[in-house]
Amino acid sequence: MTDRIDTAPPAPPAPPHPCRICGAATEEFLDLGRQPLSDAFPARTPVADEFFYRLRVARCTACTMVQLVDEVPRERMFHEDYPYYSSGSAVMREHFARTAGEFLASELARDSAFAVEIGCNDGVMLRTVGEAGVRHLGFEPSRKVAEVARAAGVRVRGDFFEEATAADVRRAEGPADVIYAANTICHIPYLESVFRGVDALLAPDGVFVFEDPYFGDVVEKTSFDQIYDEHFYLFTARSVHAMAERFGFELVDVRRLPVHGGEIRYTLARPGTRRPSPAVGELLAHEEERRLAAPDTLRGFADAVAAVRDDLLALLTRLRDEGRTVVAYGATAKSATVANYCGIGPDLVSFVCDTTPAKQGRLTPGTHIPVRPAGAFADPYPDCALLFAWNHADEIMAKETAFREAGGRWIRYVPEVRVD
C-alpha cells in the first residue's frame, strides 16, 4: 500500500492584464523582480517605509505596445525632491540646444509662435526658445526642478499635463504650434488623457513631438536597465503608429537619436496635414523584418537579460573574493534596476560616485549603496569601476583618463558583461 499524498490543485492562471492603450490582452515576457522607486534615494539607514513594487513587462497582443504590468503612482515618482536635472550632462545640454534651434528654424519661425513642453525639467530646452523671444510654457510637477527653470527665466506651470490643464492653457494663451516632450511621454500610463490634452491645445497644423528610449535598441543591446518605474512604456514605431491612430493623430516622422542609450524622436500631426516621411515606412519595415514584437524575440531577450545578471554577479563576487576594490560610477535611475535585479549591494560595490548634489550623502534605492561626490572616485582610485552611467560613456571616458592610466579597469554590462 502506498502512502497517499494530498496536493492542492494548481492555481488558475492569472487573467491577462489589459493593454493601457487599446484594452486588448497582454502577455508578460520579463520579470525583473522586486524594485524600489528608481529616483528615491534614502537619506540614512535603517530605511523606513521604502516603497517597492514588482517590475514586470508585457507586450500587447493587438497593438504590440510594450508596457509595465504594475503602475507606480505618479506622485510617488515625481515628488518634491525629484533629483534628476537635464542640464547635468554637457551632452544633453548640447542636444537640447540643438533641438530648440531646429524648432526655432521651422515650426516656431512664424509670428506669435507658441511652444509647450511636457515635463520641461530644469528648462534646458525652453531656455533657448525663450532667449529667442518666442512665447513658451513648460509643464513640470516636480517643484524643485521647476524652480530651477523659473530662475533661468523659463515660464513654468507646476502641474501634470492632461486634458484639463491643457484645455486651461488653450483658453488662456491660444493654440500651441509645437508640443514637445523628452523622456516624459513613456513615463505616463494615462496617455489617453494626454492625447486629449494635445488635441485641445495643439494648433490645427501643429506638431506633437516626443523622444523616448527605443525598444529596438533595448533588445539589441540587452539594456534592460532602461526598464524601471518611470519608463512605463517602451515604444516602437509600430506601437506609436497604432497609438497615434487610435487617439486621432498620424505618425509623420521618426528620427533616431544617440542620446540616453538610443532613442527615437516621433513627430505626430493631425491626419492629412503633413506628408509622412519615408523614414516612417522604413522603420516599420525594419521592425517587421527583425520580428521585434514576436514572442520568440521577446523570450530571447529575457534569456539574454538573465545571462547578464548571472555573469555580472559572478564577476563582482570573484573580484570581492580576490580583494579587489570596486566602486560604481553614476547613481542613475537605470542603476536601480540593475542593482536590485542582480542583488548588488555594498558588500560588492563600496560606493557610487555621482555629480548630482541631491544624491550625494544618500543611499541607492533598495540596495543602499552609499552615494558619494565625484571627487571620491580618485581618493584613491579603485581597482575597477562599474559603469552604471553607460549611456554617457564617451563623456565619462574623456574625463577619467587618469583612472585608466593608474591601472583602473571599467566593468560594463551592455550589451554583455566585460572588463575593459
Strands 135-139, 326-329: parallel, antiparallel or unpaired by DSSP?
Answer: unpaired
Q: Are 222 and 415 in contact (CB under 8 A)?
A: yes
**Which helix or strand (DSSP H or E) is residue 179 part of?**
strand 176-182
- Alpha-carbon distances of 195 from 143, 208, 304, rounded to whole Å: 24, 10, 35
Residue 6 has what pLDDT? Answer: 44
Domain with CATH 3.40.50.150 in the chain: 86-279
- Alpha-carbon distances of 157 from 131, 133, 265, rounded to whole Å: 18, 19, 24
By three-state DSSP, how is residue 16 classified? coil
Q: Are 25 and 16 in contact (CB under 8 A)?
A: yes
Q: Count CA atoms closer than 13 A to 28's CA, side-chain side.
A: 16
pLDDT in tens, the chain (420 residues): 344 444 455 555 556 689 999 999 999 999 999 999 998 899 887 777 899 999 999 999 999 999 999 998 776 765 555 556 677 778 889 999 999 999 999 999 999 999 999 999 999 999 999 999 999 999 998 888 899 999 999 999 999 999 999 999 999 999 999 999 999 999 999 999 999 999 999 999 999 999 999 999 999 999 999 999 999 999 999 999 999 999 999 999 999 998 878 899 999 999 999 999 999 999 999 999 999 999 999 999 999 999 999 999 999 999 999 999 999 999 999 999 999 999 999 999 999 999 988 899 999 999 999 999 999 999 999 999 999 999 889 889 999 999 999 999 999 999 999 999
Rounded CA-CA distance 406/420 in Å is 14
Q: Count CA atoms closer than 13 A to 22's CA, side-chain side.
A: 19
State the cell numbers at 184. 516624459
Select 296-419's CATH number: 1.10.8.640, 3.40.50.300, 3.40.50.720, 1.10.287.130.
3.40.50.720
Task: Report the 10 Å Cβ neighbour count for 332.
Answer: 25
By three-state DSSP, how is residue 77 classified? helix
Residue 143 has what pLDDT? Answer: 86
Residue 48 has what pLDDT? Answer: 78
**Which helix or strand (DSSP H or E) is residue 336 part of?**
helix 333-342
Domain with CATH 3.40.50.720 in the chain: 296-419
Select 86-279's CATH number: 3.40.250.10, 3.40.50.150, 3.40.50.10860, 3.40.640.10.
3.40.50.150
Rounded CA-CA distance 62/24 in Å is 6
Rounded CA-CA distance 71/73 in Å is 6
Read off φ and ψ for residue 258, nearest 5 degrees: -85, -5
Task: Report the 10 Å Cβ neighbour count for 322.
Answer: 8
